[in-house]
Amino acid sequence: MSEKRRILVTGGAGFIGSHTVVQLIEAGFDVHVVDDLSNAHSHVMDAIARITGVHPGFSCFDLCDSEKTKKLFADIKPDAVIHFAAKKLVGESVQNPLMYYKTNLQSLVNVVEASLEHGCQKLVFSSSCTVYGQPDQNPVGEDAPLKKPESPYGNTKRICEEILQDTVKAHSLQVVSLRYFNPVGAHASALIGEYPLGAPSNLMPVLTQTAIGKRSGFSIFGSDYNTPDGTCIRDYIHVVDLANAHVAAIQLLLNREKSSVFLVYNIGTGSGVSVKEMVESFERINGLKLNYEYAPRRTGDVEQVWANNVLALQELGWKPHLGLDEMVASAWKWEQHLNKYEKSIHQS
């Protein structure tokens, strides 16, 4: 039997990272996670083991430490890397831009340097549709002009892509950059999901926290946009579908010849959903009523963006399978599980 290919997943205890680790293990890969647990919980590694029956290798440190990063590559000798580890709070990045530039850029540079030094030439990068800003037309394709993102967080994604593009020109390195649209939902087991530290600002955790009573209500930001119902439109993608896009990207890279390449794929469903439609789906599917009001537009929000995902469908051989109903149902199931888990921690 041929040996399992080893994948190093940075930020593998986080929301998208943990779901990707599960899908990689289920696809037969040997996975090692590195995460400093600055925005994730250590119980996630146990939850991954409960779902898959496999305890992935785990290292806990900050990838801004270049020596530790190099040692990890020397010890693990990965065949490929998926680089999720990054700070991701938009508001925090506006307050503290230098922390975002330092952390997100330094960690990427360290990972790429260590990869090259240890002969690992395949990397999947976690990018975002934020690089398109408000696109001139929807659905937006990968060839649309990039616009300066509204936040330093978004800008780090754009700069990281540029760093990778320059590096593949100079070195033997193959990169797939996945531009995620809006990841939501949770694993069907409800053992892993989105676990925001502090008050969330993304729509789905705001909905689930309102439903469970962690918050008394929420605002829909803007009802006067130039959209059919006046609220913003996004392309929400189930996190398990998104995780599978990473597995497909890894398979593509592992099957490629050695020549350097930088490939970009939009990972979205290809359908736009308004905030109002999302709220109504959440209420309908979960049999709940949420307390909300309409409020002024949120600074920095784009009006509407959804993906042209044809390139991913054709070249990655990937496609999303889970619809809005599964997104809202799994997110709510996860919030209920999380609530029980948090209560049990407080009692013990």
Catalytic positions, please?
153
- Least distance (Å) from ligand UD1 to the CB of residue 293? 10
CB of 73 to ligand UD1, least distance (A): 28
What is the H or E stretch that residue 245 is in?
Answer: helix 239-254
Q: Per the structure block, which two tokens stand in for 127?
A: 């990018």
Q: Judged by CB, which is closer to ligand UD1: 91, or 119?
A: 91
Tell the smallest beta-carbon distance from residue 201 to ligand UD1 (Å): 5
Helices 66-76, 106-117: axis angle to 10 degrees equals 40
Please report how close the Cβ of residue 342 comes to ligand UD1 at its closest, in angstroms: 21
Cα separation of 205 and 184, whole Å? 9
Kindly list the distances between the CA atom of residue 154 and the CA atoms of 55, 101, 132, in Å, as whole numbers in the listed order. 33, 10, 10
Is the CB of 76 or the CB of 322 nearer to ligand UD1?
322
339, two tokens: 């609530």
Contact in structure between 181 and 266 (CB atoms under 8 Å): yes
- Nearest approach, Cβ of 182 to ligand UD1 (angstroms)? 5
d(CA 76, CA 70): 10
CA–CA distance, 332 with 212 (Å, rounded to integer): 9
What does the alpha-carbon distance between residue 131 and residue 266 come to, in Å, rounded to a whole number? 11
Kindly list the residues in this chain that would bind ligand UD1 in the complex (CB under 6 A).
90, 128, 130, 150-151, 154, 182, 201-203, 206, 218-221, 232, 234, 275, 298, 300-301
Q: Which residue has the tokens 């037969």?
A: 28
If the CB atoms of residues 95 and 201 are measured against ligand UD1, the closer one turns out to be 201
**Cβ closer to ligand UD1: 30 or 92?**
92
Question: Contact at 8 Å (CB) between 159 and 105?
Answer: yes
Residues 246 and 243: their CA atoms lie apart, in Å, by: 5
The CB-of-279 to ligand UD1 minimum distance in angstroms stands at 8
Closest to ligand UD1 by CB, 57 or 196: 196
Closest CB to ligand UD1: residue number: 232
Element (H, E) at 126: strand 122-128
Cα 56 from Cα 341, distance rounded (Å): 22
| Pick 121 or 286: Cβ nearer ligand UD1 | 286
